[in-house]
Amino acid sequence: MGIVKTAKLVYEYLKHDEEGNVEAVNRAIDGVDIDIEEGQFIAVLGHNGSGKSTFAKHINALIVPTEGTMWVDGLKTDEEQNTIKVRQTAGMVFQNPDNQIIGTIVEEDVGFGPENLGVPTQEIWERVNKSLESVHMTEYRHHSPNKLSGGQKQRVAIAGVIAMHPKCIVLDEPTAMLDPNGRKEVIKAVHELNKKEKITVILITHYMDEVIDADKVYVMDEGKVVMEGTPREIFSQVDKMKDLRLDVPQATEIAYELRKSGINIRADILSIDELVNEVCQLK
Ligand SMILES: Nc1ncnc2c1ncn2[C@@H]1O[C@H](COP(=O)(O)OP(=O)(O)OP(=O)(O)O)[C@@H](O)[C@H]1O
Ligand SMILES: [Mg+2]
């Protein structure tokens, strides 16, 4: 079993009327079966409302399945005695870093998580040092988070999660509020954590360029996983992605247009470098 596994996962949001009767049922997750191998970098794509955040909240036991099962590191998330362990195993990073940073000094903020876990003081400092180092924020350790850029704040939020020594981090559109530079900083830091610390990464994003280097991509639509594969396998299906109201990386799109106009070029191009290389070889 992988680090995150689901079997026939279903989640329904219920709307109640004034008397408390169920007025409407919204099936946000509709029979999802996935198995994520430890150490992988996973991307989750899907149009607005496809169920990505609802799925993410299950991994942290913020919500539990209506039907079916979710395991995190082999623990069923709906068993109450597992909640704390599940939350320690899978850390969450959300869109807005301002909602996640509570400390008035960067290093204090990063130390909050391990302090709450009852980690001894000496070890807290070791974890804070290492976590700040891993996201390249050591030089800002005595700063106030308020004065940091969005990308820096988000990296502090990530350090705060890492300091709790999770095996897995789930990032729900962590770059949605950042400028292009901030986006790059954050994605680079997350890739490093995956490569160096072997932390499993589950990245939910609307930016296709952030997906290119993932090991595997899941595409969601109306609560279901409708595509899964490597970025190359997913993005080469440009028409299918467009049907799902999703973009593909810019280079893939250009190659697709060139092919449509009769130029014989590979369909599975992901980066500008690959595109240039292909175009230069055309006769
Ligand atoms: N708290 C809630 N109460 C009721 N319905 C909800 C709630 N949160 C989400 N939903 C509904 O569940 C479905 C899935 O929503 P979810 O937020 O998981 O999608 P998403 O893929 O994360 O979308 P986005 O890309 O906009 O973040 C949508 O129909 C949404 O309206
Ligand atoms: Mg969402």
CATH code, domain carrying 17: 3.40.50.300
Residue 245 Cβ < 6 Å to ligand 1: no
What is the band of 94 on the pLDDT scale with cuts at 50, 70, 90? very high
Q: Locate tokens 């919500």: which residue?
A: 63
Whether 278 is in a domain gets the answer: no
CA dihedral 152, 158, 162, 163 (to 10 degrees): 60
Average pLDDT over residues 133-160: 94
- Residue of the CA atom closest to atom 2 of ligand 1: 13
How many domains does the chain fold into? 1
Q: What's the pLDDT score for residue 162?
A: 94
At 205-218, the pLDDT tens digits run: 999 989 999 999 99
The percent of residues above 90 in pLDDT, for the chain, comes to 90
Ligand 1 center to residue 53 CA distance, Å? 7
Contact 52, 172 (CB under 8 A): yes
Q: What's the pLDDT score for residue 75?
A: 97
DSSP state of 37: P
Average pLDDT over residues 250-270: 91
Q: What's the pLDDT score for residue 85?
A: 94
Average pLDDT over residues 16-29: 93
CA distances from 35 to 3, 115, 138, 168, 187 (A): 8, 32, 35, 14, 23
What is the band of 65 on the pLDDT scale with cuts at 50, 70, 90? very high
Whether 106 is in a domain gets the answer: yes
Q: What's the pLDDT score for residue 66?
A: 97
Q: Locate tokens 């149009």: which residue?
A: 47
CA distances from 273 to 187, 251, 257 (A): 19, 9, 17
At 234-252, the pLDDT tens digits run: 999 999 999 999 999 999 9
Q: What's the pLDDT score for residue 281?
A: 85
pLDDT at 201 over 90: yes
pLDDT at 282 over 90: no
Whether 150 is in a domain gets the answer: yes
Atom of ligand 1 nearest to the CA of 220: 21
Whether 28 is in a domain gets the answer: yes
Q: What's the pLDDT score for residue 267?
A: 85
Distance CA 31, CA 49 (A): 16
- Residue 112 exposure: Cα atoms within 13 Å on the Cβ side: 16
Residue 84 is part of which domain span?
4-231
What is the band of 60 on the pLDDT scale with cuts at 50, 70, 90? very high
Average pLDDT over residues 178-190: 91
Mean pLDDT value across the chain: 94
What is the band of 274 on the pLDDT scale with cuts at 50, 70, 90? very high
16: β partners: 22
Average pLDDT over residues 88-108: 93
pTM equals 0.95
Whether 238 is in a domain gets the answer: no
Whether 88 is in a domain gets the answer: yes
Contact 157, 101 (CB under 8 A): yes
Whether 244 is in a domain gets the answer: no
Ligand 2 center to residue 48 CA distance, Å? 7
Atom of ligand 1 nearest to the CA of 57: 18
Whether 117 is in a domain gets the answer: yes
